[in-house]
Amino acid sequence: MLSPISWRTPPQQYGPWEWVVSLLTERLVEQGIEISLFATGDSQTSANLRWVVPQPYSENLEIDPKVAECLHISLLFEQADDFDIIHNQFDFLPLTYSKLVKTPVLTTIHGFSSPKIVPVYQKYNHHCFYVAISKANRHPDLNYIDTIPHGIPIEDYPFQKKEGDYLLFLGRIHHDKGTYEAICLAKQVKIPLIIVGIIQDKDYFDKFIAKHIDNKSIIYMGSVGQSQKIEILAGARALLHLINFEEPFGLSVVEAMACGTPVIALNKGSMSEIIIDGKTGFLLNNLDEAASKISNLSTISRAKCREHVEKNFSVEIMVQRYIEVYQKIIAIRK
């Protein structure tokens, strides 16, 4: 299992890819599958941890990301014969090693950071195996062995029956994620907004976000750990996901609903695959619809939100589907 090394696996705070890798790895080990996890040296796992980079490069600025990535990826591929399958969760770069080894390479495509990376996936389209995390994020020029949505450990998310008294933005602070739009909506409906997430775009934060933070109506909590994040999710009236891009998946959306918290989202990317409009939240065609949906939140059953995640986005479902993909790949390559 090849994890990214921007953050620890699992991350201490932010790091969605690393978190998914950890969830999958630990549950596979519980199933009796022998796993070697290639991650940062400070990662926590019950698998066989192999590492060359001691710390995440996003936490230690002395580490050169490109050098670290090259050493990290090569460590795995130089041992490729030891494994039945290489599961790449590290984006496109490891694909360039794939024809140098006999071991089949499965890549979970967590999203396309830019159209410029697609040619790499296209080059190895008939040599490697690809899993999409949503139907919306499937590229028309690529072949996929399956589409497997992310799953979460639902037992870790307490169900909150009572509606909260604040709105929540949870995610990286960036134009793509719609932080400013969430602030505007909260001010319009006069409900406090809590903002949780790393500042990914400092210029955006300084220009559009910082001036609104008063720690009363608009509260910025920074990046928080998993337990505090879950507590904030459970206590919210709704999660605002007013995105400005085609969202590949949206873990925070699933996490919110697991707590019973409905989601108000712009209908972009995978949102219609995750949210049942009018049942577990509201899908907006435009921002003008948002305020009226806030007043209709009482029509959403928080129990139905929880039930929806239990039926479709549990970590158990995700793990079983990956096991089926592994078995299929091994059968193909025999």
User: Comparing 16-151+314-333 with 154-312, is the CATH topology the same?
Assistant: yes
CA distances from 184 to 49, 131, 169, 227, 330 (A): 45, 36, 12, 28, 51
In contact, 253 and 302? CB cutoff 8 Å: no
Instruction: Cite the beta strand spans of the chain per DSSP E.
Output: 36-38, 48-50, 86-88, 105-109, 129-132, 146-147, 167-170, 193-196, 218-220, 238-241, 263-266, 281-284
Phi and psi based region of residue 75 (left: phi greater than 0; alpha: psi -120 to 50; beta: remaining): alpha
> What backbone phi and psi angles, to 5 degrees, belong to 301?
-80, 115
What are the pLDDT digits (tens) for 255-300? 999 999 999 999 999 999 999 999 999 999 999 999 999 999 999 9
Q: Is the CATH code 3.60.15.10 the one for domain 16-151+314-333?
A: no
Question: Is the Cβ–Cβ distance between 301 and 276 less than 8 Å?
Answer: no
- Token pair listed for 292: 């009226």
Per-residue 3-state assignment (H helix, E strand, C coil) for 30-67: HCCCCCEEECCCCCCCCCEEECCCCCCCCCCCCCCHHH
Domain 154-312 has CATH 3.30.365.10: no
The whole-model pTM stands at: 0.95
What is the per-residue pLDDT across 36-68, written as a single tens digit (0 to 9) for each? Answer: 999 999 999 999 999 999 999 999 999 999 999
Domain ranges of the chain: 16-151+314-333, 154-312
The SS3 call for residue 195 is strand
In this prediction, residue 334 carries a pLDDT of 73
Diameter of the chain measured on Cα atoms: 62
Q: Tell me, what's the pLDDT at 333? A: 83
Q: Which residues contact 315 (CB under 8 A, 6 or more apart)?
A: 23, 24, 27, 151, 152, 153, 154
Average pLDDT for runs of 10 along the chain of length 334: 97 94 98 97 98 96 96 98 98 97 98 96 97 98 98 96 95 97 98 97 98 97 94 97 97 98 98 98 96 95 98 98 98 86
